[in-house]
Amino acid sequence: MATVDYTIKASVRADQGKGASRRLRRADKVPGIIYGGKGDPVAIEMDHNKVNNLADYEGFYSHILTLDIDGKKEQCILKDMQRHPYKPKLTHLDFQRVEKGHKLHTNIPLHFLNETTAKGVKEEGGVIVHHVNDVEVLVLPKDLPEYLEVDIADLSIGDTIHLTDLNLPNGVELVELTKGEDHDQAVVSITAPRVEKEVDESETVAPDEVPAENSKDDADKE
């Protein structure tokens, strides 16, 4: 698999405001901002198609990116991305600077392994339930993983993997677990398939069918 280059060329935006942003988008540019660290916030513009293509890669959302702003390179992570409500267009991106030696709060995706061959699925006919698909981590930039793997090969029906069961690389801390023991969330589980109750047609009564005893009572009333 080819290595993805997460470098984005950008320029400082001279004009700002809604009107300026609309003009950028008509010119196939997308506005953004980079903030955090020791530098001031900087409004930028980028080539829309380049960024939109990178947005197809999972690593774009968890990888350390490089913004080449008029020749000055800054390491950052994506913090927010806004899309047009119905067009395949990006409308704005927020980036946060990465500082060496300073921990990041960011979300990374989970990759679930052996879903089709898990004991509870293949042998017991269970159904996999994903409770979360990504986790928030606290980690130094040098230790940031692109994703975490969750192996469910040995799970049976009724089994659940929680946050405390995840194998974390060195230096990676789950933010949710720093809030206390009662925040040990479920990550994935295997449940028994739902069984629909069969209806015995011989016991059903047609809507226009009237029991004999009721028919006799109605006749007496008449």
Question: What does the pLDDT read at residue 212?
Answer: 53
Q: Quick one: pLDDT band at residue 211, thresholds 50, 70, 90? A: low
pTM of the full predicted structure?
A: 0.77
Q: Give whole-number Cα distances, 136 to 110, 140, 155, 211, in Å.
A: 11, 13, 24, 64
Mean pLDDT value across the chain: 87
Question: What does the pLDDT read at residue 94?
Answer: 97
Query: How many C-beta neighbours within 10 Å does residue 25 have?
Result: 19
Of all residues in the chain, what percent carry a pLDDT higher than 90? 71
Question: What does the pLDDT read at residue 217?
Answer: 52
CA-based nearest residue to 6, from 39, 53, 42: 53
Q: Which domains does the chain have, with CATH numbers?
A: 7-97 (2.40.240.10), 104-191 (2.170.120.20)
Question: What does the pLDDT read at residue 105?
Answer: 92
Structure tokens at 158: 């009724």
Q: What is the pLDDT of residues 112-154, one digit of tens each?
A: 999 999 999 999 999 999 999 999 999 999 999 999 999 999 9
Question: What does the pLDDT read at residue 154?
Answer: 96
Average pLDDT of the residues in 46-71: 94
Cα(22)–Cα(36) distance, rounded to whole angstroms? 26
CB 170 within 8 A of CB 143: yes
CA-based nearest residue to 42, from 7, 19, 67: 67
Question: What does the pLDDT read at residue 191?
Answer: 96
Of all residues in the chain, what percent carry a pLDDT higher than 70? 86
Question: What does the pLDDT read at residue 25?
Answer: 76
